[in-house]
Amino acid sequence: MIQFNLLQHREALRKFKQDQFNASVVLTLILGGVTALAMYGSLRYSIDAQQDNILVLEQEIGRYEAQIIEIQDVKTQFDALLARQKAFEDIQADRNSPVRLLSELANILPPGVALSKLAQKGQEITLEGTAQTNENLSQFLDKLGQGSAWFSKPELLISEALHINPGGKLPTKAFKFTVKATFMRDPAAFAAALPSIAVSAAAPLGAPKV
């Protein structure tokens, strides 16, 4: 009988399979390493690109912040110029305020009303005088409130009966009043009122109109 020794062939086959397995493991590790390196490189590139974008955005933000500061400085200067212009206009208005006030009062003063005292504090004026009737006084208050662009918010503080010439045969009754109102700064209204002011400036303040 012929006998074959297969032990060596089995050992060689086992060794061949072991070498194949080892090669597969090594190849898998190499491929995994290459893949990891590629992913790391891609991520690193993305991170660098984002950092570059962030740097560009920071530079743009800094430029815009500088422009915002410049705009705020210009706005501050513009507001200061407006404030100076307003102060100049107020000074100009206040310089002519007494003439305008007296002229406008003479222009709107109704018949039967005479003023005896005028006091001004800022834009608030206080008027004292006499009216022949309550209707005359009401008419004066209406003109202060709605008949003139120069006055607003009239308020009757005092109204009391006053007997003139009580010892005479025909005593005359009048009303003593105190009125408070606001005198407005209104250059447009002043320009429109110039013709009437020019006409009424020659009339006495307390003289009744015919």
pLDDT tens column, 2-21 = 555 555 667 777 777 888 88
**In this structure, which topology does domain 97-200 adopt according to CATH?**
Gyrase A; domain 2 (3.30.1360)
Indicate if the pLDDT at residue 195 is higher than 70: no
CA angle 85–101–80, rounded 5-degree value: 10
Each domain of the chain, given as residue ranges in start order, spans 1-95, 97-200
Helix 97-108 with 7-95: angle, nearest 10 deg: 70
Mean model confidence pLDDT for the chain? 77
Q: Which of 36-40, 56-60, 131-135, 160-164 has the lowest mean pLDDT?
A: 160-164
* Higher pLDDT, residue 170 or 182: 182
Looking at residues 161-180, what average pLDDT do you find?
Answer: 71
Res 194: pLDDT: 46
CB neighbours (10 Å) of residue 24? 10
What pTM was computed for the model?
A: 0.44
Looking at residues 131-154, what average pLDDT do you find?
Answer: 85
How many H-runs (helices) and E-runs (strands) does the chain carry?
Answer: 4, 4
Indicate if the pLDDT at residue 199 is higher than 60: no
Indicate if the pLDDT at residue 169 is higher than 80: no
pLDDT tens column, 28-80 = 888 888 888 888 888 888 888 888 889 889 888 988 888 899 898 888 889 98
